Amino acid sequence: MYAAHWRQLVRLSLLLVRDVATAGQVVQNSFVAVHDRWSRLRDPERALAYLRQTVVNRCRSVLRHREVEPRHAPLPGVASGADDAAARSWRTRREPPANR
């Protein structure tokens, strides 16, 4: 299954995440996840469809993570600990009122 479908799944992943390394990583992790759950598949004949959906779901997770990550990145020049309150205050002032 791996040899027969690897390229096709990487292309699918690449269309979604637009990064070759990430696409390959998503597909590899998807194969491992499907292998770990193989005994729980209701219909092993549909394993490819399950694998394809796993790839799509993991790509969506990567895309969500890319959106959220910058919002939680440490601010330049701000140390952790006591300065966290100042950083949160600064971030809140930057956000539009609807997001506060």
pLDDT band of residue 1 (cuts 50, 70, 90) is confident
What whole-number distance in Å separates Cα of residue 81 and Cα of residue 59? Answer: 34
Closest C-alpha to 25, from 72, 65, 71, 68:
65
pLDDT band of residue 69 (cuts 50, 70, 90) is confident
pLDDT digits (tens, 9 = 90+) for 30-63: 999 999 999 998 998 999 999 999 999 999 999 9
pTM, two decimal places: 0.70
Burial zone of 91 (CB within 10 Å; 0-12 exposed, 13-18 middle, 19+ buried): middle
